[in-house]
């Protein structure tokens, strides 16, 4: 039985630097008005004098819980044509062959992978407590309410309702974990394209979505059509986990006194004042969200800000230009984020690839763009992100990749019948094979990323206003430990001029 972690107080994370070191730092501070460059160096303006863990969280994304064999899935589609169901065209077989991304060979195991990932995150939490977990979208694969319920139920330890009785072309149905455990820390969710669109590609209210609903065959068609998931369904998930019908998937929260998290919804494809949008899985950011985000960052100038979304800016629909009055272009978003000194990272998923890069201008002003691979596909990992103040005016964003253990093994031979050739295809895998290796065979192994995309330590400059927050929290914690008063510092900074931009280094170690 796992021992639940009781959490940790602020004072546990605070460790004063040697007084002599701080005095020396202040004595040799950078000249007033000196510009920071790519290689971030100690600076008295942001030096709190305390080494503090500002936040420590887990990032999962693209879990893709899949209801295998669901007749509305693209690779299973049969089209109503005439009066004899046995003669209905098997369009799904054509799509299965022409568009491999319509399916994954390990789709029946996605719930087991998510449960194993939850156990891995819990193990890490019990060893060293996490503040929260965030899953940045594509919780489902087909875009079904049933899949969404499974995703949440596994994370929260709720009962798993049974999927409908159907199987995929290999005769497999989605497998339910025999052993269950819920996440031991608070968790939050963002909205992904697969959660609100037909298999993450076509708007369920658009032309293709309507054609599928009107023409596909199943014995209980109405059930499958009504089970398609729309934004309103995602916003009503059990316990919310940050989402609500009021915030439309765009919200913020403070996991610690030092950090402000901003969650954007880049998958709103059915705006109230426009026809359904078809982006073919790419993201969109409304101008209203953009302006709200700006206000959130400015209002929380004394905290480091982290932006979360399913799509990173590089995965936005390219047709949106700076002239658009409803949506914001990727370039506009990037350039605006570079102007804030307290924005240090944009964390996203969607690409199923581990990637870390510095989004900076020529002077090294900007933020870290962090993309994490999908839980469902090779290499089936999650990322731990620990953000620290080093006490000397510099901070470090520490990334560590994790995965589940032990390996999940296949339980049967995966063999597909070819209705055209009248024979079986070569088996995709046999019994007792590693699910991870099966996934590697049908995905680009480069998705694991290079060294610089995985276990890295990314420096950034601590803004003076954030330093003040840290000092105030440390003084409060010290006073509480000593049984004294809980007065904060009330400092307004040292008067140095700042242009409002965050400076980070492009190298990692």
What is the full DSSP assignment across 339-389? Answer: T-TTEEEEEE-SS-S-EEEEEE-TTSBEEEEEE---SSSTT-EEEEEEEEE
Q: Is 235 helix (H, G, I), strand (E, B) or coil?
A: helix
Dihedral pair phi/psi, residue 287, rounded to 5°: -65, -35
Give the list of residues 6+ apart from residue 222 with CB closer than 8 angstroms, or none. Answer: none
Number of H helices, E strands in the chain: 13, 15
pLDDT the model gives residue 472: 95
Per-residue pLDDT, 476: 86
Taking the CB of residue 473, how many other CB atoms lie within 10 A of it? 23
* 3-state DSSP assignment of residue 427: coil
The tens digit of pLDDT for each residue in 468-499 reads: 999 999 988 878 777 754 333 333 334 444 44
Helix residue ranges per DSSP H, 157-268 = 193-196, 207-215, 221-226, 231-235
For 190-208, what is the HEC assignment?
A: CCCHHHHCECCCECCCCHH
**And the tokens for 476?**
């409060």
Res 274: pLDDT: 78
**Neighbour-count burial of 275, counting CB atoms closer than 10 A to its CB (0-12 exposed, 13-18 middle, 19+ buried):** exposed
> Which stretch of DSSP H or E encloses residue 104?
none
| Cβ atoms of 141 and 19 closer than 8 Å | no
Q: How many residues comprise the chain?
A: 509
φ and ψ of 204, to 5 deg: -65, -20
Contact 330, 313 (CB under 8 A): yes
* Residues 6+ away with beta carbon under 8 Å from 377: 62, 64, 104, 352, 439, 443, 447
pLDDT at 121: 98
C-alpha triplet 371, 208, 213: angle, nearest 5°: 110
| Block residue for tokens 């630097």 | 17
Q: What is the DSSP letter of 72?
A: T
Q: Is this prediction's pTM over 0.85?
A: yes
pLDDT at 30: 35
Kindly list the domain boundaries of the chain, sorted by start residue.
Answer: 10-481
C-alpha 437/C-alpha 59 separation (Å) is: 22
> What's the CA angle centered on 247, arms 245 and 248, to 5 degrees?
65
Structure tokens at 88: 């209905």
Q: Which residues of the chain have a pLDDT value below 70?
A: 1-38, 484-509
Topology given in CATH for the domain delimited by 10-481: Purple Acid Phosphatase; chain A, domain 2 (3.60.21)
What b/e string do you get for 117-151 counting C-beta neighbours within 10 Å, with b at 16 or more? Answer: bbbbbbebbeeebbbbbbbbbbbbbbbbbbbbbbb
The encoded tokens of residue 196 equal 């609100």
């Amino acid at each position: 039985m796992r021992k639940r972690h009781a959490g940790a107080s602020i004072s546990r994370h605070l460790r004063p630097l040697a007084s002599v070191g701080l005095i020396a730092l202040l004595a040799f501070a950078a000249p007033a008005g000196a510009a920071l460059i790519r290689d971030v160096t100690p600076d008295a303006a942001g030096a709190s004098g305390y080494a503090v863990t500002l936040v420590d969280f887990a990032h999962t994304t693209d879990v893709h819980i899949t209801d295998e064999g669901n007749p509305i899935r693209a690779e299973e589609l049969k089209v109503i044509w005439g009066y004899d169901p046995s003669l209905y065209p098997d369009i799904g077989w054509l799509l299965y062959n022409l568009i491999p991304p319509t399916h994954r060979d390990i789709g029946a195991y996605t719930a087991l992978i998510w449960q194993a990932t939850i156990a891995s995150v819990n193990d890490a939490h019990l060893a060293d407590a996490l503040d929260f977990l965030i899953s940045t979208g594509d919780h489902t694969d087909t875009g079904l309410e049933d899949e969404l319920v499974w995703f949440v139920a596994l994370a929260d330890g709720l009962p798993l309702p049974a999927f409908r009785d159907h199987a995929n072309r290999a005769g497999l149905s989605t497998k339910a974990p025999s052993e269950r455990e819920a996440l031991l820390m608070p968790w939050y969710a963002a909205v992904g394209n697969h959660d609100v669109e037909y298999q993450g590609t076509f708007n369920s209210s658009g032309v293709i979505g309507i054609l599928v609903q009107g023409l596909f065959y199943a014995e209980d068609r109405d059930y499958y059509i009504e089970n398609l998931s729309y934004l309103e369904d995602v916003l009503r998930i059990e316990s919310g986990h940050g989402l609500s019908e009021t915030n439309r998937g765009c919200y913020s929260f403070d996991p610690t006194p030092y950090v402000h998290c901003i969650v954007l919804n880049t998958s709103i494809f059915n705006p109230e004042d426009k026809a359904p949008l078809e982006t073919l899985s790419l993201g969109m950011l409304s101008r209203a969200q953009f302006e709200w985000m700006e206000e959130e960052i400015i209002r929380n100038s004394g905290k480091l800000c982290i932006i979360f979304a399913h799509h990173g800016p590089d995965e936005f629909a390219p047709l949106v230009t700076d002239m658009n009055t409803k949506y914001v272009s990727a370039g506009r978003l990037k350039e605006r984020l570079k102007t804030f000194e307290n924005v240090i990272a944009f964390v996203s998923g969607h690409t199923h690839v581990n990637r870390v890069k510095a989004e900076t201008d020529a002077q090294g002003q900007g933020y870290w763009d962090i993309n994490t691979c999908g839980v469902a596909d090779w290499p089936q990992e999650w990322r731990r992100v620990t953000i620290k103040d080093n006490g000397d005016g510099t901070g470090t964003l520490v990334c560590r990749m994790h995965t589940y253990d032990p390996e999940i093994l296949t339980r049967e031979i995966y063999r597909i019948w070819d209705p055209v050739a009248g024979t079986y295809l070569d088996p995709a895998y046999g019994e007792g094979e590693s699910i991870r290796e099966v996934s590697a065979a049908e995905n680009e192994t480069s998705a694991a990323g290079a060294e610089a995309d995985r276990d890295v330590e990314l420096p950034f400059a601590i803004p003076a206003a954030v330093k003040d927050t840290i000092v105030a929290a440390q003084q409060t914690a010290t006073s509480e430990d000593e049984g004294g008063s809980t007065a904060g510092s009330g400092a307004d900074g040292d008067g140095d001029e700042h242009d409002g931009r965050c400076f980070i280094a492009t190298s990692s170690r």
